[in-house]
Amino acid sequence: MSAARRLRPTAVAGRFYPAEPDRLEAALDSAFAAAVQPEPGAAVPKALVAPHAGYVYSGPIAASAYLRVASARATIRRVVLLGPSHRVPFRGVALSSADAWDSPLGPVAVDQAGAAALHDVPWVVTDDRPHAPEHSLEVHVPFLQRVLDDFMLLPLVVGDASEQEVAAVLQAVWGGQETLVVVSTDLSHYQRYEDARRLDARTAAAIVALRPGDVGDRDACGARPLRGLLRSAADRQMAVDAIDVRSSGDTAGDRDQVVGYGAFTVA
C-alpha cells in the first residue's frame, strides 16, 4: 500500500491480464469481440454477475456481462464490487483502506462515502490483508474502465458471511441508477468438460430462479457474495437473466479439467 496516497497496487497485472496499457486494451478488444452481444435498446441492469479468471479464459464471458451496462456509461458513477477471498480467511466483509485502486489504465477512486455507510455494520471490517493478494475484484477494474466514464469503486472482499449479512451490506449501499452492483464469481472448478456443463447448467438455473440456497460453495467460488445478491434480488422481486455460460474448455485450454464461467444480469 502506498502510504502517500493509500493506493492499492495491482496484484495480478501481468498474470491474469496484461500489465502494459496497449496490450491490455488489445486483450479487452478481443474479449468484447468474442462476447455475446446485447439486444439493441435492452434495459440496463442494476447488477451483474461475472467471472474473474485470466482474460484468455473468462474474458469473453465477463465482457458479455459488461456490454449490458455500456449504454449507461455516463449514468453509472459508483460500482459496488463484491468478490470472494481466495487466500486470506476471515469473518465478515472487508473494506479496503485505500483511497484509490491502481490499474494499468489509470487509478480508480474508492467511494469513501459508501465505505462510511458500512462502518457501523458489525460484520464489516476495514482490512487490507484480504485485498492485497486478491484477484477476484482486481480483474474487473479494466472492464469497468472500458465500459464506464468517471466512476468510483467500492471494493468488498467477502469472507465467512451469510447471505443475510451480504444482503444487509448491499441494502446499505444499493443506491439508485448511479450505482451498479457487480458480484465476481466463477462456477464449477476442475471438472471434465461435459460434467462442468451439467453442473453449471444446474447452478445457472438456481441463479435465474433466485434460489440462493441451491448455490453451494462448490458450485461457485463466489457463492457467498452471490447468495447475498440473490437474496437482495428476491426481496426486491427482481429478475435474473443468464447471458453467457461457458467454460475454459470453450475459450482456452483443454477439456480434461475446466473451470465454468457465467454472466448474469439482475434487473
Q: Residues 236-247: pLDDT tens digits?
A: 999 999 999 999
> What amino acid is encoded at 113 in this protein?
A
- pLDDT (tens digit per residue) in 185-230: 999 999 999 999 999 999 999 999 999 999 999 999 999 999 999 9
**Predicted local distance difference test score (pLDDT) of residue 41:** 87
Structural domains of the chain in order of their starting residue, each with its CATH number: 7-266 (3.40.830.10)
- pLDDT (tens digit per residue) in 86-100: 999 999 999 999 999
**Cell reading at 49:** 454477475
Contact residues for 216 (Cβ-Cβ < 8 A; gap 6+) = 223
Are 90 and 127 in contact by the 8 Å Cβ rule? The answer is yes
253 pLDDT band, cuts 50/70/90, is confident
pLDDT at 5 over 90: no
Report the mean per-residue pLDDT for the chain. 97
**Cell reading at 86:** 481466495
**Predicted local distance difference test score (pLDDT) of residue 1:** 54
Count of other CB atoms within 10 angstroms of residue 113: 10
What gap in Å lies between CA 187 and CA 53, rounded to an integer? Answer: 11
Sole residue written with cell 449514468: 75
Within the chain, how many helices (H) and strands (E) appear? 8, 12
4 pLDDT band, cuts 50/70/90, is low
∠ Cα 263 264 267 (to 5°) = 150
- pLDDT (tens digit per residue) in 111-159: 999 999 999 999 999 999 999 999 999 999 999 999 999 999 999 999 9
**Cell reading at 81:** 464490487
Beta strands in 200-239 (DSSP E): none
